[in-house]
Amino acid sequence: MLGVMDADGPIDLGERVAEVVRALHAETGVQDTVDRAVSVATEVVQGCDHASVSLMHPERRMETLAATSEVCRRGDELQYELQEGPCLDAAGSYDTVRSADLARETRWPSWSSRAVRELGVHSVLSFRLYTATDDLGALNLYAEPAEAFDDAAEGVGYALAAHVAVAMAGKRNLDYANMALVNRTVIGQAEGMLMERYQMTADQAFRVLARVSQQENVKLRDIAAYVVRNGRVPGVRTD
């Protein structure tokens, strides 16, 4: 049975990971989820000194959303700057990328040499975060010694990454749904104000908002918020 030690003795690793999974799904948003994920990664993955989550934006730009230290945050940023490194490979398609000794690594020569020289990092593990419908980014684990991660650590990290991805995707979809609800609400309020003031139908009010949005090159929800806040359509005189 896999286990780790705490002050009171051995802890079953399966139980610890199960606790982590429950905690991840209990968080209320994407940021809370990834903050919790990187924190527990350093606890449950043997050999891990630092952990981060790289978020992949729709245009494939990468951003570090959470990090346990400046070491891994800078390690991620160097990968984005140099356009090479394990998290970029993992997020791109490789699923899991592992390097036992960055001092001898040839896949990312520029990044590896700087990670060793500037950050004191010699081992790295990166896991692609994805679901059947979403590419989310990567979970990145850094260690200062060489040969820090074994097969067991990789297995635990892979399981953790899978649960992080599911939790992230669910929270992101919920965030999007909540945002859409807020947008629909404020647009509906603006339509109601225009209908009452100018005796318009709902369709006419929406077309006014849409036309002003296009003319001003401003998002529809922002035009609607302006109407709700100021009681008038921007650019239209009321006197």
Question: Are the C-beta atoms of 157 and 45 separated by less than 8 Å?
Answer: yes
Domain ranges of the chain: 3-171, 177-230
- Give the Cα separation of 121 and 113 in Å (integer): 10
Asked whether the predicted pLDDT for residue 180 surpasses 70, the reply is no
Q: Within 13 Å, how many C-alpha atoms sit on residue 83's CB side?
A: 2
Q: Coil, helix or strand for 130?
A: strand
* Of the candidates 143, 144, 141, the residue with the CA atom closest to the CA atom of residue 160: 141
Query: Distance (Å, rounded) from C-alpha 110 to C-alpha 49?
Result: 22
Provide the whole-model pTM: 0.65
The larger pLDDT score, comparing residue 18 to residue 70, is at 70
Considering only CA atoms, which of 91, 39, 33, 36 is closest in space to residue 61? 91
Q: The dihedral of CA 205, 206, 212, 215: what is its sign? A: negative
According to CATH, the topology of domain 177-230 is Arc Repressor Mutant, subunit A (1.10.10)
Nearest to 48 by CA among 168, 131, 165, 161: 161
Query: Residue 52: beta bridge partners?
Result: 67, 140
Instruction: Specify the DSSP class assigned to residue 199.
Output: -
- Distance from C-alpha of 118 to C-alpha of 230, rounded to nearest angstrom: 53
Element of type H or E holding 146: none
**pLDDT tens across 92-136, in order?**
888 899 999 999 999 999 999 999 999 999 999 999 988 776 788
For residue 24, pLDDT beyond 50: yes
Place of tokens 């009171």: 8
**Angle at the Cα of 163 (from 26 to 42), degrees rounded to 5?**
90
Can you give the pLDDT at residue 116? Answer: 98
As a whole number of angstroms, the distance between CA 75 and CA 118 comes to: 9
Superfamily in which the 3-171 domain is placed by CATH = GAF domain (3.30.450.40)
Q: Which DSSP letter does residue 147 get?
A: T
